[in-house]
Amino acid sequence: MADTILTVEGLSVSFRTDEGLITPVQGVNFQVARGRTLGLVGESGSGKSVSTKAIMRLLPGSSSLSPETRMTYRAKSGQEVKIDSLVQRSKALRQLRGGEIGMIFQEPMASFSPVYTIGNQMMESIHLHRGLKRKEARALAVEMLAKVGMSRPEARVDQYAHELSGGMRQRAMIALALSAGPALLIADEPTTALDVTIQAQVLELMDGLQRDLGMAMIFITHDLGVIAQIADEVAVMYLGSIVERGPAKQVIKAPKHPYTQGLLEAIPSLDRLDARLRPVPGDIPSPTERPSGCAFHTRCAKAIAGLCSGEAPPEQQVGPDHAVRCWLYDARGAAAA
């Protein structure tokens, strides 16, 4: 990709738990290009949120990054930042969080402090990252609130999070993240808790803001319909690995990995009202009992006996920028089948 803003290579995250060491993210690679949107899809427990929290270095103390992990971010100044080697509580990390990479979460009510006004929290971020004085910071906060489509921004700036409706709160959350002027925005299920009408408004808003500000975005969701609308590239995660990645249109129209195919078939569609839904068979295994070989082989209808359960498949190019981890697309898999 020409203008890459973030490169993640070999990202593995482990947690120490009572049941031993678990590794919810294993060997994840992806890139995000300036001004583009990467969609990250997967079921709960697939490691979507853990991966993005690793980028922000927001994981708790019981976790560790593997030594092979490389995360390189190209800052607004053009300087390269090695995120994996930043020290917690360092100035460089504080500048990265918010100022370079912004983040919005699923539940806006839990992300705002209930005891400070929306404007107060925005001004704090603007002051820290942009170094503006009180008055200018307030003016910018009002401007940002107006930009995300809030009516009467001069009044809203002095309101508390609980005074806003769900959709307005999510808009305020976006305004808060954008007020520090990040070049990359990580959005973790930002529309999941919203009604469809509000979701459509928020998606449209984010799409427009991205175009205006030339910002890159990582958009986490489990809704493939949302991905189809907003993402340029998509990465599908299963049990901590990316099983397929490529241009969003191509992956959704012609999915290669059996898991992606299964996910798309499980979605109810108005075009297939009378047909029975087809769930992916079986349950997602728990991270402590990760299957050997290809992690999906226990649920895969096309698993090749002897091969898939034994060895993890390497990443195969199946089209321009379209890669899949599946033995079905490999010479050895074809020979074994």
**Binder among 1, 21, 254, 266 for another protein (CB under 8 A):** 266
Residue with smaller CB distance to another protein, 10 or 285: 285
Which string of DSSP letters, residue by residue, matches 16-30?
A: EETTEEEEEEEEEEE
Tracing tokens 């299957």 back to the chain, one arrives at: 291
CB 174 within 8 A of CB 104: yes
Per-residue tokens: 65:
């990054």
Q: How many residues belong to the site for another protein (CB under 8 A)?
A: 44
- Contact residue for another protein among 63, 95, 229, 316 (CB under 8 A): 229
Long-range contacts of 136-145 (CB under 8 A, 24+ apart): 140/179, 141/175, 141/179, 144/175, 144/176, 144/178, 144/179, 145/118, 145/171, 145/172, 145/175
**Which residue number, 124 or 207, has a Cβ lying nearer to another protein?**
207
Look at residue 142 and give its three-state secondary structure: helix
By CB under 8 A, tell whether 18 contacts another protein.
no
The answer to whether the beta carbons of residues 126 and 137 sit under 8 Å apart is yes
Dihedral sign of CA atoms 54, 84, 243, 318 in order: positive
Cβ–Cβ under 8 Å, residues 32 and 184: yes
Exposed / middle / buried, residue 184 (Cβ in 10 Å: 0-12, 13-18, 19+) = buried
Q: Which of residues 29-48 bind another protein (CB under 8 A)?
A: 43-44
Alpha carbons 308 and 190: distance in angstroms, whole number: 35
Give yes or no for residue 270 binding another protein (CB under 8 A). yes
Among positions 214, 279, 306, 310, the unique one binding another protein when judged by CB under 8 A: 279
Residue 252 CB, nearest approach to another protein (Å):
5
Continuous segment of H or E residues that includes residue 63: strand 63-65
Q: Is 152 in the site for another protein (CB under 8 A)?
A: no
**Under rule CB under 8 A, residue 200 binds another protein:** yes
Identify the CA nearest to 110 among candidates 193, 6, 183, 27.
193
Q: Is 277 exposed, middle or buried (0-12, 13-18, 19+ CB in 10 A)?
A: exposed
Q: Is 305 in the site for another protein (CB under 8 A)?
A: no
Q: Is 280 in the site for another protein (CB under 8 A)?
A: yes
The yes or no reply on residue 166 touching another protein (CB under 8 A) is: yes
Range 56-115, binding another protein (CB under 8 A):
none
From candidates 175, 235, 248, 308, binder to another protein by CB under 8 A: 248
From 12, 31, 51, 199, residue interacting with another protein (rule: CB under 8 A):
199
Residue placing its CB nearer to another protein in the complex, 20 or 131? 20
- Round to whole Å and give the CA distance between 147 and 191: 18
The reply on whether position 187 binds another protein by CB under 8 A is no
CB of 99 to another protein, least distance (A): 31
Q: CA-CA distance, 199 to 152, in Å (whole number)?
A: 21
Coil/strand/helix, residue 165? coil
Q: Which of 2, 273, 331, 335 binds another protein (CB under 8 A)?
A: 273
Per CB under 8 A, 262 contacts another protein: yes
Scanning 32-40, 110-118, 135-143, 257-265 for contacts with another protein by CB under 8 A, the matching segment is: 257-265
- The reply on whether position 284 binds another protein by CB under 8 A is yes
Using only C-alpha atoms, the chain has a radius of gyration, in whole angstroms, of 21
For another protein, the closer CB: 99 or 167: 167
Selected from 225, 310, 314, 319, the binder of another protein by CB under 8 A is: 225
Interface residues with another protein (CB under 8 A)? 43-44, 151, 165-168, 195-201, 203-204, 222-226, 228-229, 248-249, 252-253, 262-264, 266-270, 273, 276-280, 283-284, 286
